[in-house]
């Protein structure tokens, strides 16, 4: 055991914050040891049977991690109908939060040889360990100011739920749809319980899962519920597969709870003491079929998907609306883009708010307007205080060159912490954009907004903080 340099008691229970100065030697529960270099300010939090090693921060930072860790276990135990820790509390698994993608890839390569390199997160049964990158990549100053990013806290809840399952099944996983479906369901419940999100529909990534399923349904490409359960969905992108597994479990948990409980009984309370994944997969299909015919279940699943009310559609996880506004970041290999799902119904449109750049003067943030099938418009804000307006024919995702239509003359550099106001007003035949200290663009242009949409974006590796957004003088 490494020496503790600091310990702290909280009202919700005792946990330790250990700050190490050189190397942290981490023991896997089943497979020996792992050696990882750490920063002198790294935190190690132990709570509710888990250990979390994270980039450093202040005491509130450790409290954030502790709250997630303590919330996962009772939610998972209640869902799976298993005791929290039947043989007493001890460290059952360790989660590592990596400050850089390179460090994550180093350890991911050792454990899974690239299988989860693109995921930026994974859990490993043999070592009872979870590994994920702190996304968006944040400076120590940003971590101290904002704490761990929402998507990292949510990812932590997801991976800890996998470790909980490993511990209760002797190091085994559940069938794919159930493993990912339950982990995603648990992470969402944790975020709701801790107040990080108000509703699943208004949280962009949960909303995107709903939107993806509805798009598949609309295009008659939605796999049947049985196909999702039996993993017969070849050719679909990974993001759509994850969405379907989550929604399939959520649907069955809400509409067939007795059947789900029976499947959990088989998974966590095997009478013969043996865990056979293939046998469990077959038994799960049989239990669901006993509850209702697959024809009936498939129809009910389609109706469930059709009845969802997503508000956002993201290209990749990037945006979270918290108490201080919306923080959006483009990761190192993908720019951020999130569309509002509700289509525009009027020819006039206005959007106002404040915008802070978390970076240098070269930082950019984008506001998109798309006319239905005819043209895309990009309004670019810069950390220099300048604004520019681009346009191209067709929809945004279609090929085509952006044309610079206009740019502001003002160029007053901003510093981190500045949050200048902006306002975009589109009237019949006219478009006006105001930003920062006098940056103003006025263009005579005819836009057909009926059936169009609007969205927010940030280039690769850049972070924008959208605040006080008002759409047509109403909150989105």
Is the Cβ–Cβ distance between 84 and 96 less than 8 Å? no
CATH of domain 319-471: 2.60.120.560
450 to 345, 367, 374, 391, 398: CA distances (angstroms): 5, 18, 11, 18, 20
Identify the helix (H) or strand (E) that includes residue 378.
strand 375-382
Separation between Cα atoms, residue 417 and residue 354, nearest integer Å: 11
CB atoms within 10 A of CB 242: 18
Spatial strand order in the sheet of 430-435 = 319-322, 325-329, 463-471, 349-357, 421-427, 430-435, 439-443
Q: Which of 284, 282, 242, 248 is nearest to 264 (CA)?
A: 284
Separation between Cα atoms, residue 207 and residue 189, nearest integer Å: 14
47 Ramachandran zone, left/alpha/beta (phi>0; psi -120 to 50): beta
Q: Which fold has domain 1-173?
A: Glutaredoxin (3.40.30)
Residue owning tokens 């050189």: 22
Q: How many CA atoms lie within 13 A of 36 on its CB side?
A: 30
Give the pTM. Answer: 0.88
Cα torsion through 440, 446, 450, 455, rounded to 10: -30
> Length of the chain, please?
476
pLDDT the model gives residue 476: 61
Separation between Cα atoms, residue 199 and residue 189, nearest integer Å: 10
Is the Cβ–Cβ distance between 76 and 167 less than 8 Å? no
Spatial strand order in the sheet of 387-393 = 312-314, 336-340, 453-458, 364-371, 375-382, 387-393, 403-407
pLDDT of the chain, 476 residues: tens digit per residue: 222 223 223 333 333 333 222 223 333 334 334 435 556 677 888 888 999 998 775 556 788 899 999 999 999 999 999 988 866 678 889 999 998 889 899 999 999 999 999 889 999 999 999 999 998 877 777 787 788 889 999 999 999 999 999 998 888 889 999 999 999 999 999 999 999 999 999 999 999 999 999 999 999 999 999 999 999 988 899 999 999 999 999 999 999 999 999 999 999 876 555 678 888 999 999 999 998 999 999 999 999 999 999 999 998 888 998 877 888 888 777 789 999 999 999 989 999 999 988 866 678 999 999 998 789 999 999 988 889 999 999 988 887 889 999 999 866 778 777 888 999 999 988 999 999 877 889 999 889 899 999 999 998 888 888 999 999 866 66
Q: Where are the domains of the chain?
A: 1-173, 193-314, 319-471
pLDDT the model gives residue 34: 42
DSSP result, 162-213: HHHHHHHTTS----HHHHHHHHHHHHHHHHHHTTS-S-TTTSHHHHHHHHHH
């Amino acid at each position: 055991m490494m020496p503790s340099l600091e310990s702290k008691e909280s009202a919700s229970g005792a946990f330790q914050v250990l700050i190490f100065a050189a190397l942290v030697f981490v023991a896997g529960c089943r497979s020996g040891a792992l050696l990882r270099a750490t920063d002198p300010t790294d935190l190690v939090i132990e709570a509710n049977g888990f250990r979390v090693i994270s980039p450093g921060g202040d005491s509130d930072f450790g409290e954030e991690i502790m709250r997630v860790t303590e919330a996962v276990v009772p939610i998972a135990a209640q869902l799976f109908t298993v005791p929290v820790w039947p043989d007493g509390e001890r460290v059952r698994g360790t989660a590592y939060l990596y400050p850089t993608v390179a460090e994550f890839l180093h350890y991911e390569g050792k454990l899974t040889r690239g299988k989860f390199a693109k995921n930026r997160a994974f859990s490993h049964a043999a070592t009872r360990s979870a590994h994920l990158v702190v996304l968006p990549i944040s400076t120590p100053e940003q971590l101290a100011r904002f704490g761990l990013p929402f998507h990292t806290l949510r990812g932590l809840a997801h991976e800890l739920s996998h470790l909980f399952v490993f511990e209760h099944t002797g190091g085994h996983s559940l069938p794919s749809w159930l493993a990912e479906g339950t982990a995603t369901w648990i992470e969402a419940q944790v975020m709701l319980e801790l107040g990080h999100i108000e509703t699943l529909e208004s949280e962009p990534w949960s909303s995107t899962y709903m939107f993806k399923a509805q798009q598949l349904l609309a295009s008659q490409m939605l796999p049947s519920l049985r196909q999702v359960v039996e993993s017969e969905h070849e050719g679909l992108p990974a993001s759509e597969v994850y969405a379907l597994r989550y929604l399939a479990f959520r649907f069955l948990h809400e509409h067939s709870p007795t059947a789900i409980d029976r499947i959990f009984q088989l998974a966590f309370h095997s009478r013969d003491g043996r865990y056979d994944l293939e046998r469990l997969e077959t038994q799960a299909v049989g239990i669901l079929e006993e509850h209702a015919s697959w024809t009936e279940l498939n129809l009910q699943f389609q109706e469930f998907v059709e009845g969802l009310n997503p508000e956002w559609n993201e290209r990749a996880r990037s945006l979270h609306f918290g108490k201080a506004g919306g923080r959006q970041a483009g990761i190192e290999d993908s720019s951020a883009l999130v569309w509002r799902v509700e289509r525009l119904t009027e020819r006039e449109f206005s959007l106002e708010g404040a915008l802070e750049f978390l970076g240098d003067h070269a930082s950019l943030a984008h506001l998109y307007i798309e006319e239905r099938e005819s043209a895309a418009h990009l309004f670019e804000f810069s950390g220099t205080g300048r604004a520019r307006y681009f346009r191209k024919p067709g929809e945004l995702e279609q090929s085509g060159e952006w044309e610079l239509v206009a740019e502001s003359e003002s160029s007053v550099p901003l510093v981190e912490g500045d949050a200048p106001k902006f306002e975009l007003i589109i009237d019949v035949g006219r478009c006006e954009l105001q930003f920062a200290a006098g940056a103003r663009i006025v263009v005579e242009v005819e836009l057909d907004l009926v059936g169009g949409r609007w969205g927010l974006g940030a280039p690769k590796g850049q972070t924008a903080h959208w605040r006080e957004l008002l759409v047509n003088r109403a909150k989105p």
